[in-house]
Structure 1
Amino acid sequence: MESLDLLLSKVDSIARVRIIGGEPLLFKDLPQLIDYLDAQKKILTFSLVTNATIDFKDELMKKLKKSNKVRKITISDYKRSPNLKIPLKQESILRKLKENKIPFSMNSSDENSTWSDPEKIYKRGRSKEDIIKNYRNCQMPCVSLMTSEGLENKQLAPKGAIFVCPISSSLSRLKGLEEFNGDFLNLEDSKERFFEFYSQDFYKSCDYCRDYGEPAKQIAVAVQTDKVLKLEKD
């Protein structure tokens, strides 16, 4: 909430806050977070993504039903996952959402459904021109807001940071903020710095992604890697 307060002091509005994880329903203060989002005039809507491994408690359902800012609840369907070890709560969750008239969508896992493969993440060594081209082809609509919790060097973002995309935020946590300095905004930066940040031609993390000028490879929904993928050092 402290990080969101700082962010809201620098912007006119936020069209949507997307609550993701890990699994958001593991967050014990989720109902309180929803109260906070509802109270912020600058936040227009919010959504939540769940994998349906945890059921919605009554307190959470009451908050969602009361809120007029819920854009939708997105349920990722993992029925086809070969590694699933626990029973899914899809039927219970869907019933509660329908009964309380809360908008939702289900990411289908039928045999014709696919996800886009992000491919391996590593430094590609592209030229500046090609990095700029990849950034422009990407058109990632999501930015990541993260607190300083778990960061090795909190001095670079003591109150949290905004990263240009989810891959950038993950890389920064894996390899350190120093490596990707310039790819994120310290929430304590001035409002002018926010404009400077988004006027950049490219970001360092854009050299780690697949070629967004080419069609994405399609993979079966919920069928993920069969081995641990390591981040390349080079």
Structure 2
Amino acid sequence: MSTTSDKPAVLEGLATVPAATVIIFRDAPIGPPQLLMVQRAKEMRFAGGAAVFPGGKVDPADRVLAAELMPHDDQEIAAARIAAIRETLEETGLVIAIREAVTAEAAAQARKLLLAQGTLATVLETFGWTIDPDRLTLYTHWCPPWDGAFDTRFFIVNLGTGAVDIEIDATENTRLFWASAEEALGLAERGEIKLIFPTARNLERLAQHGKYADVLQDLARHPVTMIIPRRTDRDGEAWIEIEEGRGYPVLSQRAATARRG
């Protein structure tokens, strides 16, 4: 099942939680681009102990800032963009989708301010920064059909050379690392990291492409619509699956081995 991606998820009367995540690319010396991943603290309710992309839920302040800075844009997507920028700074120390040049020192100071004040608006005003929302490309939109599920928009952004400073927040997450999509899948196969169902499927999709430009071409062939994983029964065994035609090479996984979050 899929639907348009510019609306909040309304699934069978269930209450979902709007969220945003960012797949951050950087060039590797050899081979396909690397992606930034964070390993969640085991104590976290959502995806505890799993390796995921930076992100989190959309806060009310994100909606206020989105309405102020992007009044003519779809507000669900605009608020998700704000949340993606804020959560990336909070979790990794990276400043993304800003028009001005940002030094490592300024990024570190901005992160401290964000952690103290809690809103991206304060950071932008203090440092005189301007958001460039078009640098964040909407890549996919997932929402599982259960109460309290995260209604998540995934964005992609390319850092190019990748000469950046990152540092774990040491609260929600315990580790930051760069790996290509194929490398991350290999780590999961060897049991070195754990992946939740949406992360695994998106890594498999990204692993098909050797360049960021190829990812954009794939996106052009598969316009974003909401992806809603479904639980199905195959000969008495439960599976989780997504519909075909969205660019994903693997469409299903046994429910017994799939982590929902």
Larger Rg: 1
The structure where strand makes up a greater share of residues is 2
Which structure has more RCO (C-alpha within 8 Å, separation ≥ 6)? 2
Above 0.5 in TM-score? no
